[in-house]
Structure 1
């Protein structure tokens, strides 16, 4: 008996020691710690679909945090709602050797409403736990079960979780009943294993030893270097509604049917519509009048309750309460235009997301709704959540992408308008007059269009004190003292805004011996050049294409003459074009600059060519004129 007892204690001690050493940070290969602040030691996603509208999701993850930069990983933050409760949470903290430090109790885990900051009503809640360690490295591990009562999408899986994070091992398993149909896409060369187990079929993907990637500027994501899987159901059920997602046409039919009889208006609102448009001569004029009515009489409030996350609030309700989310306001605008005799179509869109894949339908590719008005000679798109956008301007997050148009016959993939570099313009004219004491009076007038209008418009909504801070923070002019400023949108029907700013400065001229040096680009200067990256990994792009046109006229102080002026510069590349022209007459210097950039997606091997292009612009923007004082 003593022998067997001793043997049992020995075995238990062995297995305890073995388990504690699993997360020993010293055993992580150097290839995984290089450039990493955290290492995913093990991650397992198991999604068991037990029926058209039910599934169980089991998740486990262990992460070793190497330094303070990896502390963002030291937390459990899992979201759920009444259709996807979370249970059976287990969480453990380990030290550098893999020795267990603490098992967390259920009372340590917070359960809170998940506020997105703008939704009035929503189902979402979140389970929260912050792991705390005073030393590095340390490892956190947690697991949970999530039961789904309604399936409209499936978990996404990607092996590389972000910049500065390596992955030792991660796996994803989808288990289905025989006869259940779903679709999936995978990254190139990722092996899919499938096995039949009784009346179940398992699909499994595994990825190991993914080294960390350092953060790369202008990156458009890690998908070109990481293993990933996207999956979506064909038949689905959610919150009492069922549908088919096997193609965009069927998904569009589901959205259309959700809104059956949803765009009826109260009689009072119908009378308002008819009164507003009674003198309108064209469909475009009617659209503009009713779009202005929408903007002036409604506000955006998100509502995310069950199927309400997909079904618009009734137009009658919006007319009553004067608010709604993107679906409700788009549907309300649809109802207004329908009363005016103008047919429209709701548009499902991934705002700020990649363009929809025409050959792979899934709810996860969309997060927003706008409205399309297909007129005889052109098509107008309306962003119905904005109280400020001119009619037809939908913003660069919605532009130039595949979207789903909802019709009575089903869904149809179409493309939203493209805002070209010339459309996204910034035109700046500056007059700088030097006084005899070398101080300068600076007047700047700028016009912004489309995407650049969108970038600058937010400042007009700020308080004056905050506006002044933003203007001063954004100026390149040395020693600038802000005198006056003004913003004006002369034509509310166009995405164009004018800005007028006046400064004064006594630091534009720098003296060297008996010479005075004047940097000629004072208003739109590239202040630095990016560094080259050897063996860059990810694709890159500028946020949007644009064109900047700058003209600066200098009136020199009395008694100064121009001794040197730079030669004209022209820089051309596949990334864009740049010119700088210099001229002088009497006591005046004129500097004219133009820069046009495109937003194409470039492979990583072209990044250093882009850096060279930017370096040339940086050097050209620093050029100086040389003045001498004659009196």
Structure 2
């Protein structure tokens, strides 16, 4: 996207964000190569005091310039960062990568002025070693993307390393993000952005650590126009600052760490050049819908054609059932178009006919074809834009670039279903886990609306053992393994993708010592909406211990939860399970009549407020037979950080209760 310079004075305000009212921070960084001996003793505060590395500072700027070749605006991104290496675990910081992009035309990103060095303290003196020319590499990923790779020399425990570089980019629709947090603690981070008055950007903060605006003012800006000399105008200068930002660490049950990292993102909202009208690029959803309709890889792709009408008619025939018509089209698309593994919002083909001829495509190729065929079959269907879990949560306001996937919402009779034909194991109402990011944007003819994107049923896994304990303390019997919902999709995929059934069974046994599977069969493999059932005749060794006349046995066998997945004292992130779930374990055990029960686990039930999660452990005995049922139910997909300690306590009880043993005594 090129924007030609038209000299004049106009004012446009930059949208800004102030997460806290901290006082402006004093500069806490130095010039490249100027390393003080005192920096080798620097430590991170608090919980990060033992970190493998410390980012002493990370300072950057973004400002605009004129591309002398095109005469259009470009932005310049400069960055200077310095690390202290405390242990070998941080040696990977000596390897640094920078990604660059170029399109099929003349627009590109270029890397300039790369400097890097290692510093060590020897006999009280700072000794520096700059990066050599032989430590610089370029990897051309494809026609559009390349990666610059650098390796610093002589890095060891106690070293300080630093990088400084600048990037010039013609792609000003989105400016480069700035992260104030990283995998190591950051003592000081500063980012200054200078935006010419002709541009208005959305500034989008993420994360939980406060970002302060240390300074904001209008400044003079000068731009050199090839053949026209220098032109003066105004720009808005903003300085963002953080201090003592803790390391950001991955935790169980999150979407992507990027959602929780303190960072700023920038997307062009509008331009207002003199002699031109105000141009709104992403100002409202109606405008975005219009742009999608006009795009050949979205609106152009879904336009009805003779090909799709004929295909839809052929598939549904004279069937008048809305559900049957939907299922026939859905199954045909799943069979005919193989997903290439890429989540995309725009198609890679320009027509549905081409997609079916190629027999493959990205998620947009497949699901937009599905929507078109459903509409041709008189099943109202709409595209729904989604940001996948690894792409991060959408900020909620008009911003097309934050979506990366598309699914379908269809009105089938009086029921509404979400559809995703990228996986052969999917059925109406089942979306890939990657798409379960809680909200999606349904695209209408002239507008758009947010809709919930949630699993319609819990993912259920059920183990049922019918076993007999012999007088030799051997276990034998039948094991039934049921999986449904997202668990069923995963289990069916694993079964189909295994090299053979014996290899699949071998993988199942791998983490279950003493389990011997004598016979094995599956049921309901192709009945996708029913539980996937595995039936096994088993003999189990190594799970019963004998000490004198006492026999010890953990009735949870291989399904015991051994560790609490929640270990932090506090958590600032939500706990995101993606979907509700149920894990049920049931064992019916017949034991010898000359055994008595000395000790049994007690029945207990644990519940979170409003039954958002529960754990029950129920013990029953009748004569020489016992029945134990353990059930963990997570009844909603997301828990707030305020609910974290309740979840932690629940799983503490799970670990404790499932560890209890059953004790028999021979008589």
Asked if Structure 1 and Structure 2 have the same fold, meaning a TM-score greater than 0.5 normalized by the shorter chain, the answer is yes
- Which position in structure 2 is the counterpart of 1:448? 483
Q: Does 1:195 align with 2:210?
A: no
Q: Determine the C-alpha separation between the residues in 1 that align with 2:73 and 2:386.
A: 25
Distance change (3 Å), C-alpha of 1:217 and 1:391: closer
Q: Determine the C-alpha separation between the residues in 2 that align with 1:474 and 1:543.
A: 25
Q: Determine the C-alpha separation between the residues in 2 that align with 1:28 and 1:381.
A: 54
Q: Does 1:549 align with 2:610?
A: no
- Which position in structure 1 is the counterpart of 2:328? 289
Whether the 8 Å CA contact 1:570–1:580 is kept in 2: the answer is: yes
Answer with 522-531 or 347-356: which moved more.
522-531
* Mapping 1:46-445, distance limit 5 Å: 46-49=61-64, 54-83=74-103, 84-97=108-121, 99-105=127-133, 108-114=135-141, 123-133=144-154, 135-162=156-183, 165-186=184-205, 190-192=211-213, 193-198=215-220, 199-212=234-247, 217-218=252-253, 227-235=262-270, 244-258=281-295, 259-264=298-303, 267=306, 270-301=309-340, 313-352=350-389, 353-358=391-396, 360-375=397-412, 377-399=414-436, 401-419=438-456, 423-445=458-480
For normalisation by structure 2, the TM-score amounts to 0.80
- Which position in structure 2 is the counterpart of 1:9? none
Answer with 438-447 or 16-25: which moved more.
16-25
Q: Which residue of 482, 489, 513 maps to 2:524?
A: 489
Q: Determine the C-alpha separation between the residues in 2 that align with 1:323 and 1:42.
A: 47
Shift of 1:399: 3.0
The C-alpha deviation readout for 1:280-302, integer Å capped at 9, x for no partner, is: 22222112111111111111226
- Which position in structure 1 is the counterpart of 2:8? none
Shift of 1:553: 0.7
- Which position in structure 1 is the counterpart of 2:659? 622
Q: Determine the C-alpha separation between the residues in 2 that align with 1:316 and 1:243.
A: 34
Shift of 1:277: 0.9
- Which position in structure 2 is the counterpart of 1:119? none
Whether the 8 Å CA contact 1:532–1:607 is kept in 2: the answer is: no
The C-alpha deviation readout for 1:385-420, integer Å capped at 9, x for no partner, is: 223212331033323622122222133322224445
Whether the 8 Å CA contact 1:87–1:145 is kept in 2: the answer is: yes
Distance change (3 Å), C-alpha of 1:600 and 1:319: closer
Shift of 1:491: 5.0
* Mapping 1:443-482, distance limit 5 Å: 443-460=478-495, 461-464=497-500, 466-475=503-512, 478-482=513-517
Shift of 1:167: 0.8
Q: Quote the RMSD (CA, aligned, Å).
A: 3.4
Whether the 8 Å CA contact 1:79–1:114 is kept in 2: the answer is: no
Q: Which residue of 27, 33, 44 maps to 2:59?
A: 44
What's the secondary structure of 1:619's corresponding residue? helix
Q: Which residue of 505, 508, 512 maps to 2:547?
A: 512
Answer with 545-554 or 247-256: which moved more.
247-256
Distance change (3 Å), C-alpha of 1:483 and 1:565: same
Whether the 8 Å CA contact 1:93–1:138 is kept in 2: the answer is: no
Whether the 8 Å CA contact 1:400–1:416 is kept in 2: the answer is: yes
Q: Determine the C-alpha separation between the residues in 2 that align with 1:44 and 1:346.
A: 42
Whether the 8 Å CA contact 2:44–2:185 is kept in 1: the answer is: no
Distance change (3 Å), C-alpha of 1:542 and 1:267: closer
Whether the 8 Å CA contact 2:44–2:51 is kept in 1: the answer is: no
Distance change (3 Å), C-alpha of 1:102 and 1:448: same
Distance change (3 Å), C-alpha of 1:30 and 1:491: closer
Q: Determine the C-alpha separation between the residues in 1 that align with 2:32 and 2:202.
A: 40
Q: Determine the C-alpha separation between the residues in 1 that align with 2:371 and 2:73.
A: 31
The C-alpha deviation readout for 1:237-272, integer Å capped at 9, x for no partner, is: 9xxxx9721233322332222134323577566444
Q: Which residue of 538, 556, 566 maps to 2:601?
A: 566
Q: Determine the C-alpha separation between the residues in 2 that align with 1:316 and 1:261.
A: 12
Q: Determine the C-alpha separation between the residues in 1 that align with 2:593 and 2:405.
A: 60
Distance change (3 Å), C-alpha of 1:263 and 1:216: closer
Distance change (3 Å), C-alpha of 1:287 and 1:152: farther
Q: Determine the C-alpha separation between the residues in 2 that align with 1:124 and 1:356.
A: 25
Q: Determine the C-alpha separation between the residues in 2 that align with 1:586 and 1:73.
A: 65
Q: Determine the C-alpha separation between the residues in 1 that align with 2:312 and 2:508.
A: 42
- Which position in structure 2 is the counterpart of 1:3? none
What's the secondary structure of 1:566's corresponding residue? coil
Q: Determine the C-alpha separation between the residues in 1 that align with 2:271 and 2:409.
A: 27
What's the secondary structure of 2:649's corresponding residue? helix
What's the secondary structure of 1:261's corresponding residue? helix
Answer with 516-525 or 218-227: which moved more.
218-227
Whether the 8 Å CA contact 1:566–1:623 is kept in 2: the answer is: yes
Whether the 8 Å CA contact 2:430–2:455 is kept in 1: the answer is: no
Ranges in structure 2 where 5+ consecutive residues have no aligned partner: 1-29, 67-71, 221-233, 273-278
Shift of 1:540: 3.6
What's the secondary structure of 1:250's corresponding residue? helix
The C-alpha deviation readout for 1:89-139, integer Å capped at 9, x for no partner, is: 51323133353212332x532222337xxxxxx732222223343521323
Whether the 8 Å CA contact 2:62–2:77 is kept in 1: the answer is: yes
Whether the 8 Å CA contact 2:556–2:658 is kept in 1: the answer is: yes
Q: Which residue of 628, 633, 637 maps to 1:596?
A: 633
Q: Determine the C-alpha separation between the residues in 1 that align with 2:62 and 2:81.
A: 15
Q: Does 1:524 align with 2:559?
A: yes
The C-alpha deviation readout for 1:338-362, integer Å capped at 9, x for no partner, is: 332333222210111554333x232
Shift of 1:208: 2.2
Whether the 8 Å CA contact 1:47–1:57 is kept in 2: the answer is: yes
Whether the 8 Å CA contact 1:90–1:104 is kept in 2: the answer is: no
Ranges in structure 1 where 5+ consecutive residues have no aligned partner: 1-15, 116-121
Shift of 1:34: 0.7
Distance change (3 Å), C-alpha of 1:85 and 1:231: closer
For normalisation by structure 1, the TM-score amounts to 0.84
Q: Determine the C-alpha separation between the residues in 2 that align with 1:303 and 1:621.
A: 41
Answer with 215-224 or 184-193: which moved more.
215-224
Answer with 273-282 or 494-503: which moved more.
494-503
What's the secondary structure of 2:369's corresponding residue? helix
